[in-house]
Amino acid sequence: MKEQLQALVLDAIDALRAAGTLPAGDTPAFVIERTKNRAHGDFATNAALLLARQAARKPRELATALVDSLPAAMLVERVEIAGPGFINFFLARAAYVDEVRRVHAEGARWGHGTTGAGRTAGVEFVSANPTGPLHVGHGRAAAIGDSIARVLAANGWHVVREFYYNDAGAQITNLALSVQARARGIEPEAPTWPADGYRGDYIKDVARAFLDREAIYSEGERVLASGDVDDLDAIRRFAVAWLRREQDQDLKAFGVRFDVHFLESSLYDQGKVEETVHQLTARGHTYEEGGALWLRSTAFGDDKDRVMRKSDGSYTYFVPDVAYHLSKWQRGYERAITELGSDHHGSLARVRAGLQALDCGIPEGWPEYVLHQMVTVMRGGEEVKLSKRAGSYFTLRDLIDEAGRDATRWFLTARKSDSQLTFDIDLARAQSNDNPVYYVQYAHARVASVMRQLAERGMAHDQTHGLAHLDRLDSQAELDVMVELSRFPEVVEAAGANLEPHLVTIWLRDLAAAFHGWYNTNQFIVDDAELRDARLALAGAVRQALANGLELLGVSAPESM
């Protein structure tokens, strides 16, 4: 709809330029937008306001000229000029009816766009170190990242979901030492406990499994515990495999899958880290100081230079990070989205600087970052502390177990990622109207229920008949539903363009509200077959639309509840 109106306005502008009312020149980026107020029609444009200066005429005057040059269109019933010079479009009901037919014709693909044109977008998210269970912050990352991936796919991108494991750094050594200590029966309070050891109870479980010589199957590989407490390398491999398996299970329970599990260690194994350092040095962007090798990242927008190779010969974490992102580029990711906790935002400038210094054609804003703020969990009116060290560790799994997958995913995506989020467990698990997830799911189940009721009364729904008589839907409530329905393609596009999946949750709520309002004022199953089939056709379109929206969030669309 929006595109059609846009085309009409552009035609009108061309006509005015041809007539000399407007001088030749660039057309400013005017907006076609939904109006807030029904009295202002369905859509409005500010084109006349923006073009007024260029034309050296008053905005309202120019608006009149624009309206006069507007080509006729079935879509538009009437046009008004309002306020300082807005052009308001009142759409014909037929425009909305057409959209209902489109929903039925396109089904699960309805609302999807083509801006991605099959190009590849890599979405990296979660990327938790395999040193502990996933916590609630990882849950937010998983929910947001996966929804972004879904939304991009719905916009025609070929999406690759990617999880990066930091399995090569000092933290992994810490993990291995911690497990080793536990295997030897050492408690975190003991003087011989490793300095930065992981104190959580899960370390005990890993140690026990190692001593019991368990085998772990993960990513098609089998890791067998040797049970040899002195073999730190064996402990490391086992512990990493054990924790990866845990994380994989949690993510699976959350409905999140990855296409690529990328190991940091593989960058070392394949010499990619060395190669990156070599390239940066060859291009003259490095220097030695104090026994360390530095990257002159300040030349590429960073606020200080960064050490790449420490004086002990090992690399800082950001070098493999650059090598990793380079590999994404080399694998043809036209867009790369990296979803991170905002506490990592310091690494953005550094990684981008490193990529620019490689001088291999990577655009300046690549990769794109989506940062999410902290999650605080409330239960019984009190904050649930997430202390890793103390071992009293509230995990993603705990949250899913308590609140359910659907509510957890909904709540974690329903907010803009850059605002802090308060997760109220009592609300999320409430089976009541306090809970927005149920409100939307209930609307979906209600349609399904009506269809069941129809069958119980020995009737059948003739969809073709209904779609042919949608003109019978002449109530305000029905128009409200159709208007909400028609917004979905715009929501999908905006959510994809801005990487903001929370827009989908807002729209779902609006559509559900319009539907519930309609349901309460109109009986669907009526004797008049024409009217009945028409109403059921619209109800069916609502069900499909809700399902399509929920799918973008990874939330289920139940037939009954």
**Is position 136 an interface residue for RNA (rule: CB under 7 A)?**
no
Q: Which one, 137 or 183, has the nearer CB to RNA?
A: 137
Q: Which one, 212 or 456, has the nearer CB to RNA?
A: 456
Stretch that binds RNA, among 216-224, 268-276, 391-399, 499-507 (CB under 7 A): 499-507
Among residues 398, 394, 347, 148, the alpha carbon closest in space to that of 256 is found at 148
Torsion from C-alpha of 53, 54, 57, 60, nearest 10 degrees: -70
Q: Which one, 40 or 405, has the nearer CB to RNA?
A: 40
Q: Which one, 193 or 439, has the nearer CB to RNA?
A: 439
Stretch that binds RNA, among 138-146, 155-163, 175-183, 371-379 (CB under 7 A): 371-379
Residue 286 pairs in a beta bridge with: 295
**Is position 438 an interface residue for RNA (rule: CB under 7 A)?**
yes
Compute the distance between CA of residue 402 and CA of residue 420 in angstroms, rounded to an integer.
21
Among residues 448, 439, 438, 457, the alpha carbon closest in space to that of 536 is found at 448
Compute the distance between CA of residue 359 and CA of residue 42 in angstroms, rounded to an integer.
49
3-state SS of 239-282? HHHHHHHHHHHHHHHCCCCCCEEEEHHHHHHCCHHHHHHHHHHH
**Is position 488 an interface residue for RNA (rule: CB under 7 A)?**
no
Site for RNA in 42-81 (CB under 7 A): 44, 46, 49-50, 53, 59
For RNA, which residue of 27, 35, 265, 327 counts as binding (CB under 7 A)? 35
**Is position 39 an interface residue for RNA (rule: CB under 7 A)?**
yes
Compute the distance between CA of residue 341 and CA of residue 145 in angstroms, rounded to an integer.
11
* Least separation in angstroms between CB 485 and RNA: 15
Query: What tokens does 226 get?
Result: 């040797």
Binding-site size for RNA (CB under 7 A) equals 91
**Is position 432 an interface residue for RNA (rule: CB under 7 A)?**
yes
**Is position 84 an interface residue for RNA (rule: CB under 7 A)?**
yes
Alpha carbons within 13 A on the beta-carbon side of 378: 11
Q: Which one, 192 or 520, has the nearer CB to RNA?
A: 520
Residue 256 backbone dihedrals phi, psi, to 5 degrees: -115, 130
For RNA, which residue of 114, 115, 392, 420 counts as binding (CB under 7 A)? 420
Query: Are the beta carbons of 492 and 113 closer than 8 angstroms?
Result: yes
For RNA, which residue of 114, 392, 476, 521 counts as binding (CB under 7 A)? 521
Sheet containing strand 292-295, edge to edge, reads 286-289, 292-295, 306-309
Compute the distance between CA of residue 47 and CA of residue 87 in angstroms, rounded to an integer.
8
Q: Which one, 115 or 523, has the nearer CB to RNA?
A: 523
Stretch that binds RNA, among 186-194, 459-467, 514-522, 546-554 (CB under 7 A): 514-522
* Least separation in angstroms between CB 403 and RNA: 13
For RNA, which residue of 42, 146, 302, 500 counts as binding (CB under 7 A)? 500
**Is position 474 an interface residue for RNA (rule: CB under 7 A)?**
no
Q: Which one, 73 or 513, has the nearer CB to RNA?
A: 513
- Taking residues 280 to 319 in sequence order and writing x for each that binds RNA by CB under 7 A, - otherwise, the string is ---------xxxx----------xx--x--xxx---xxx-
* Least separation in angstroms between CB 398 and RNA: 20
**Is position 524 an interface residue for RNA (rule: CB under 7 A)?**
yes
Query: Are the beta carbons of 316 and 307 closer than 8 angstroms?
Result: yes
Stretch that binds RNA, among 94-102, 108-116, 140-148, 502-510 (CB under 7 A): 502-510
For RNA, which residue of 12, 151, 336, 450 counts as binding (CB under 7 A)? 450
Q: Which one, 165 or 209, has the nearer CB to RNA?
A: 165
Compute the distance between CA of residue 27 and CA of residue 29 in angstroms, rounded to an integer.
7
Query: Are the beta carbons of 379 and 425 closer than 8 angstroms?
Result: yes
Angle subtended at Cα 232 by Cα 228 and Cα 233, rounded to the nearest 5 degrees: 105
**Is position 15 an interface residue for RNA (rule: CB under 7 A)?**
no
Q: Is the peptide bond before 367 cis (omega within 30 degrees of 0)?
A: yes
**Is position 364 an interface residue for RNA (rule: CB under 7 A)?**
no
